[in-house]
Structure 1
């Protein structure tokens, strides 16, 4: 299990296992991922591997939890309340830019992004993906509340709906970027950040038009 791995496994061996498994899951998908390949590439024996991690599901959760924690720490995600103020949208764009730069600095974090959107990944109650999704939803709701409080986000739509719309926009752009990594080299990648921010602003800002019912 994940907690067992964190207590027993040496830090460097754990990092190697997590990075190797992330690459395998991202390349082959959850169902196609081979524990035998992961074990071989990590230089572990099967008995040692199963002493640390007891199943493919436990290994997948370990990968998502570890890489997610590392990415969050490297990104220095602000508390939602810190976004409240006249620079709300500038801060949002800065966060998106830092997310791009940080995620591109480590291939394992790019692999993590693929795990979130890949079909067949285990995301039921109690899984690492479910916990990460709940944490993201809570952060988005808090950020929207901060934006409403400072007048940067419209308040004529339910906040949960706005959070779902925000997640849908980010997911669509993220999935496209992961499928077309070479199309986002250099200035094109930073242009995408500007587009992301502009799309979110059009959906969420008070001056964004809402079609009137006839």
Structure 2
């Protein structure tokens, strides 16, 4: 009968999570040395392998944990329920909540850095997060067009690419410079490009 490992002490797990997140953010999955992470987190290899079978399990645990922390604090609006008058205020409120979450939990920055790294064939759970964000954004743009608050003079795919490019640039600026634009200014910039005139 397989033995179930004892629960991991929260402070040990947190240290491993933060060290691993920092390395995955800086070097990506492929470029991160598991031995370096284990050593910096002051874990023994046998202890690590007691809880995680390999680097992939650790990477996916880090991504899922940081994403869960973020979504506990920040719920994206259900775009299907938004009216034309609610649409842009809801987007501004979402940007504000994301900004506040990053201020309260600085390790959220590591998730942002991981999210914006060039895609790696070994991204695992990180690609799942990217896909979820992309899907939500596409739904929001589609709903905005249905409501008449987002321009319809551009092909939908081009509009999506433009919006993603601007949002990624704003996100990278925040991560790289640690001084974000105010959320309402970020949304105003997006609106200036995609709002129906």
TM-score (norm 2): 0.83
Residue of structure 2 equivalent to 1:78: 77
**Cα distance in 2 for residues equivalent to 1:128 and 1:178:** 21
Does 1:180 find its partner at 2:177?
Answer: yes
SS of the equivalent of 1:76 reads coil
Deviation by residue 1:134-158 (Cα, 9 ceiling, x = unmatched)? 1111101111122122221123333
Distance, in Å, in 2 between the alignment partners of 1:150 and 1:144 is 10
Give deviations 1:164-186, integer Å, cap 9, x for gaps.
Answer: 221110111111221111xx2xx
Which consecutive unaligned segments of at least 5 residues does structure 2 have? none
In the comparison of the two structures, how many residue pairs are matched?
A: 192
- Structure 2 vs 1, CA of residues 196 and 47 (structure 1 numbering), >3 Å: closer, same or farther? same
Instruction: Specify the alignment match of 1:122 in structure 2.
Output: 120
| Equivalent in the alignment of 1:210 | none
Give the drift of 1:200: 1.2
From 191, 194, 197, the equivalent of 1:204 is 194
Equivalences for 1:125-204 in 2 at 5 Å?
A: 127-181=124-178, 184=179, 189=180, 191-204=181-194
- Where does structure 1 lack aligned partners over 5 or more consecutive residues? 1-6, 208-214
Shift in Å, 1:113: 0.8
Output one character per residue of 1:28-81: Cα deviation in whole Å (capped at 9) or x when no partner.
Answer: 554553323322343432012123223323322221122112212211222222
Q: Residues 68-126 of structure 1, C-alpha deviation per residue, up to 9 Å, x if partnerless?
A: 1221221122222233331311221121111111112112101111112235x6355x7
Task: Determine the C-alpha separation between the residues in 1 that align with 2:155 and 2:40.
Answer: 48
TM-score (norm 1): 0.77
- Give the 3-state SS of the residue equivalent to 2:107 in structure 1: helix
For 2:85 and 2:62, the matched residues in 1 are separated by 38
Shift of 1:11: 6.8
Aligned mates of 1:167, 1:8 — CA distance in 2: 43
Please tell me the root mean square deviation across aligned C-alpha atoms, in Å. 2.5
